[in-house]
Amino acid sequence: MIMENKKYTTLLFDADMTLFDFARAEEDAFGIVMHRHGIEFDAADFERYKKYNESLWASYGRGEITKEFLQRERFAAFLPTVRGGEGLDGGDVNREYLESLADCSVLLDGAEDACRILSGMYDLYIVTNGVERTQKKRLANSAIKPYIKDIFVSEEVGVPKPMKEYFDYVFAHIGEERRESSVIIGDSLTSDIEGGRRAGIDTILFCPSGKLSGETPVPDHIVRDHAELVRLLMPTE
């Protein structure tokens, strides 16, 4: 389905699992740091770390914890549970992990082509929660860098998506007049779609399964891949 009767000028892209393959980057960076310290871990250990890390990011998105606590806590809690992790400082290991993560700029299939095509019709920005240095380095080292006008990271903004204040900051920098002609594209209902709702802009959920299962908030549109996103956003005569 092609959008009709809507004149967008600005696309706000989430970064991880919308443009970047964060699942691969996370696994690679985690493995590099664990092996560096001789820590023994298996797939179950990694899944346990991921689940706890995701719960911390959810708490951060709700404004319940600080980014500093999240970064300190995720490894401080995990390391004592694996052989070889005892006695290591969670903050130090987190810094090593972020350095490795910053070097992982793998894109999802189709992301580069989509950005190249859409940048000829719209202004593209990235809106992401995360660590400023890490996210900006990943973008700088990626193939989509020439197509992105700017990136806004929650660490520099001071509040995370989905807070309305996050989007107020973005539009204060790119032009408040753009708000009514902007749409956000992201894979998260809680940060991207809810954030768009709070900001008063249209929303597109990037969802490979194509299914919501009755979850809320409800996006304006759902796409399963980048080719479908391009078709959706192609201007109509």
Question: Judging by DSSP bridges, how do beta strands 182-186 and 150-153 pair with one another?
Answer: unpaired
Q: Give residue for tokens 């919308």.
A: 18
Q: Are 90 and 113 contained in the same domain?
A: no
Q: Could you tell me the two tokens for 73?
A: 């806590």
- C-alpha 50/C-alpha 52 separation (Å) is 5
Residue 62 belongs to domain spanning: 23-102
Average pLDDT in the chain: 93
pTM of the model: 0.90
- For residue 91, give every residue at least 6 positions away whose Cβ sits within 8 Å of its Cβ, in sequence order, or none: 71, 72, 75, 76
For residue range 23-47, what is the model confidence (pLDDT) as tens digits? Answer: 999 999 999 999 999 999 999 999 9
What CATH number does the domain containing 41 carry? 1.10.150.240
| Region label for 110, one of left (φ > 0), alpha (ψ between -120 and 50) or beta (otherwise) | left
The verdict on residue 62 lying in a domain is yes
Q: Are 151 and 192 contained in the same domain?
A: yes
Output the pLDDT for position 5: 47
Q: Are 205 and 110 contained in the same domain?
A: yes
Active site residues: 14
Q: Are 73 and 171 contained in the same domain?
A: no
- C-alpha 71/C-alpha 217 separation (Å) is 28
